[in-house]
Amino acid sequence: MMLILQLKKRIEILEAQVQELLKVQTAPTLIAKEKKSPFVKPTVVEIFDYACEKLSNDDALKFTEKFHAHYEANGWKVGRNQMKDWKAAVRKWDLTTFVTTNQNTKIKNGKFDSDAAQRIYNDAHNYTKG
């Protein structure tokens, strides 16, 4: 009989210890937080590839040129804050303004230069290969 009482007492002690361990493991201060990776500027090729999902190649080239130039000039900031997700910024831009029209074409020496975006893409693509 004494042995049974000792075993019951030991079981109660072990159950209390298990409960304490469960409380400690679920404490919010001990849960490891994921560290966010710092923002990495996208390449022109990455922007172009992402824009091609929503626009034709010609329109994507025009969009890529304007998007990259805009954020490169602003230090990749959205307002006063550092950009966190460039794909979200692409989605936020009104892509319908980049559908083929002559008004979005670069002007060079008084003439339209429709090859400007293609040259920028080719330069960037060759730069990333080398």
d(CA 47, CA 40): 13
Res. 103: pLDDT tops 50: no
Residues 6 or more apart whose Cβ sits within 8 Å of residue 86: 39, 41, 42, 47, 71, 76
Tokens 């080719």 identify what position?
122
d(CA 4, CA 76): 72
Mean pLDDT of the 14-42 span? 73
Instruction: Point out the least confidently predicted range of 11-25, 38-52, 87-101, 114-128.
Output: 114-128
Res. 122: pLDDT tops 50: yes
Mean pLDDT of the 25-33 span? 56
Mean pLDDT of the 60-70 span? 90
pTM comes to: 0.51
Q: Which amino acid is at 93?
A: W
Mean pLDDT of the 52-64 span? 87
d(CA 21, CA 13): 13
